[in-house]
Chains A and B, each alone.
Chain A
């Protein structure tokens, strides 16, 4: 493990042309540099996501250019846009169908909280009610630079994930769930309105 290597020894060895690494660093280095996003867009944020993938912003510089149309082959779900209550069960099911390890970026005000439609009747007030979100990007819509920043944040998160021990990554823990319950259409709202395993809103004290 990386914390067992003396940093000074490592830099000294690097100066002599000897690279020392650990299994965990090698594993995380490989994963963080080839994140394949799931190819789907929900609303106007998807246009910014497309711009990020195209030549001007070029997410390929970070290893994330391979947008997969199948959840079986994707590592990252970029929830780009307004999640309506009609669409939420499909999003959760797509997340469930992704193979571990999987990550979620909630892009834009709608995906993180419902945005300008928060008071409306048909928009989900944040996708984090049903699935765990790794990086939130505010903005309406966020610029491609913001998505790139979120991507880099996700890379640093992946880089810091532990392979063993008590604080190992979620996908390596057999007790942590990989699928989350898909909400169903109730009489007035989605049932249940939130998954308490992943969504604990802060209590407001007045």
Chain B
């Protein structure tokens, strides 16, 4: 009778499990018999480079930050429009020049409005 071909896989799985588990079990038994546990405030601290940690690792950005993000986004888009305007500046007709000035004026007006509302004031 030939052995089941899957028998070798079962044996391999057993060896693969025993190989890491036996040293771990030996280390555990060693700790139980000989090595006393000596925890302490320094030994169990999170940060391990000799310096005491200050504050919490889980810092959060204030939700106030989104106003800055929106204003930044608007002026970032403005810069995208301004670059082709500056490149084509000498060949532009008067109408196009006035159009871009109106566009700039609208954005500056928006900034002045946001400034006036106190959006640039950092509030905690």
In this assembly, does B56 line the interface, its C-beta being within 8 Å of a C-beta of chain A?
no
Q: Are A90 and B42 within 8 A (Cβ)? A: no
Shortest Cβ distance from residue B14 to the other chain A in the assembled complex, whole angstroms: 27
Given contacts A71-B48, A91-B50, contact A96 B43 (CB under 8 A): yes
The contact string, 1 if C-beta is below 8 Å from chain B, for chain A 174-190, is 10011100100000000
List the A side residues contacting B34 at CB < 8 Å: 163-164, 172
In the complex, A164 Cα to B43 Cα: how many Å? 25
In the complex, A48 Cα to B23 Cα: how many Å? 37
Number of interface residues of B (CB under 8 A): 14
List the A side residues contacting B52 at CB < 8 Å: 93
In this assembly, does A157 line the interface, its C-beta being within 8 Å of a C-beta of chain B?
no
Given contacts A100-B35, A171-B35, A173-B36, contact A179 B43 (CB under 8 A): yes
Q: Are A178 and B43 within 8 A (Cβ)? A: yes
Closest to B36 in A: A174
In this assembly, does B38 line the interface, its C-beta being within 8 Å of a C-beta of chain A?
yes
Closest to A181 in B: B42
Given contacts A178-B43, A179-B43, contact A100 B38 (CB under 8 A): yes
Interface size class of A (residues with CB under 8 A): 20 to 34
In the complex, A182 Cα to B40 Cα: how many Å? 12
Closest to B38 in A: A178
**Majority SS at the chain B contact face:** loop
List the A side residues contacting B40 at CB < 8 Å: 96, 178-179
List the B side residues contacting A91 at CB < 8 Å: 50
Q: Are B38 and A70 within 8 A (Cβ)? A: no
In this assembly, does B98 line the interface, its C-beta being within 8 Å of a C-beta of chain A?
no
Closest to B39 in A: A178
Closest to B47 in A: A97
Q: Are A97 and B38 within 8 A (Cβ)? A: no
List the B side residues contacting A99 at CB < 8 Å: 43
Q: Are B43 and A94 within 8 A (Cβ)? A: no
Q: Are A94 and B50 within 8 A (Cβ)? A: yes
Closest to B40 in A: A179
In this assembly, does B1 line the interface, its C-beta being within 8 Å of a C-beta of chain A?
no
In this assembly, does B45 line the interface, its C-beta being within 8 Å of a C-beta of chain A?
yes
Shortest Cβ distance from residue A67 to the other chain B in the assembled complex, whole angstroms: 15
Given contacts A70-B48, A71-B48, A72-B48, contact A93 B42 (CB under 8 A): yes
List the B side residues contacting A100 at CB < 8 Å: 35, 38
Which of A97, A171, A172, A182 meets B43, CB within 8 Å? A97
List the B side residues contacting A93 at CB < 8 Å: 42, 50-52
Q: Chain A residues in contact with chain B, CB under 8 A? A: 70-72, 90-91, 93-94, 96-97, 99-100, 163-164, 171-174, 177-179, 182
Return 25 A-B CB contacts under 8 Å, by A number.
A70-B48, A71-B48, A90-B51, A93-B42, A93-B50, A93-B51, A93-B52, A94-B49, A94-B50, A96-B40, A97-B48, A97-B50, A99-B43, A100-B35, A100-B38, A164-B34, A172-B35, A172-B36, A173-B36, A178-B38, A179-B38, A179-B40, A179-B41, A179-B43, A182-B42
